[in-house]
Amino acid sequence: MPSVSGSPINFTPTIIANQMIGNVTNQEAQQAALEIQLSTGNLVNSPSDNPAAAAQIINLNDGLARAAQYQSNAADGLGWLSLGNTTLNSAVSTLQTVLQAAQSVSGVAIAGNPQALQAVASQISSARQQLIQLANTTYDGQAIFAGTGNLTAAYDANGNYVGGGSAPTRTVG
pLDDT of residue 152 exceeding 90, the answer is no
Cβ atoms 135, 83 nearer than 8 A: no
Whether residue 110 is predicted with pLDDT greater than 70 in this model: the reply is no
Q: How far is CA 124 from CA 85, 118, 165, 170, in A?
A: 23, 10, 31, 37
pLDDT band (50, 70, 90) for residue 94: very high
Give the tens place of pLDDT for each residue, 3-35.
556 667 777 888 888 899 999 998 998 888 888
With 90 as the cut, is the pLDDT of residue 106 above it?
no
Helix (H, G, I), strand (E, B) or coil at 113: coil
Residue 86 pLDDT grade (very low, low, confident, very high; cuts 50, 70, 90)? very high
What b/e sequence results for 86-100 when a residue is b if at least 16 CB atoms lie within 10 Å of its CB, and e otherwise?
Answer: ebeeebeebeeebee
Following CA atoms 43, 45, 49, 54 in sequence, which dihedral angle do they give, to the nearest 10 degrees? 90
- Decide: 160 and 143 in contact? Cβ < 8 Å: no
SS (HEC) of 46-110: CCCCCHHHHHHHHHHHHHHHHHHHHHHHHHHHHHHHHHHHHHHHHHHHHHHHHHHHHHHCCHHHH
pLDDT > 70: what percent of the chain? 91
